[in-house]
Amino acid sequence: MPIDFTKLSDPVYQAARKAEREEESRRYEAKQQEIKILLNQCLDAVETMPERERSFIRSCQRRISTYLPLSEAQEKWLRDIAAKLE
């Protein structure tokens, strides 16, 4: 797909793209905050979990603390564990 350089200098196009990027960033930050909340809920009850789940929760904690995103499968498992705790 060729680049349309006329659009790149169009202020309306630039504003629309900026708004899209800001919205995407906002959604990403909200999702990361939700994951941190779920992880903290799981960490509060980590000693009551089976060893496999405990290990998984700790690996999630390491990934998040090193700014690595969780995969979809990891995120789903974290959500499932947190749902069991409620």
Closest by Cα among 35, 36, 37, 58 to 46: 58
Contacts of 29 (CB under 8 A, 6+ apart): none
Q: Which helix (H) or strand (E) holds 8?
A: helix 5-8
Report d(CA 17, CA 54) in Å as an integer.
Answer: 42
> Global pTM?
0.80
Residue 8: its pLDDT value, please?
A: 83
Distances (CA, A) of 23 to 8, 57, 85: 19, 29, 32
Which token pair is 8? 């790149």
Residue 61: its pLDDT value, please?
A: 96
| Per-residue pLDDT in tens (0 to 9) along the chain, 86 residues | 788 888 888 899 999 999 999 999 999 999 999 999 999 999 999 999 999 999 999 999 999 999 999 999 999 999 999 999 98
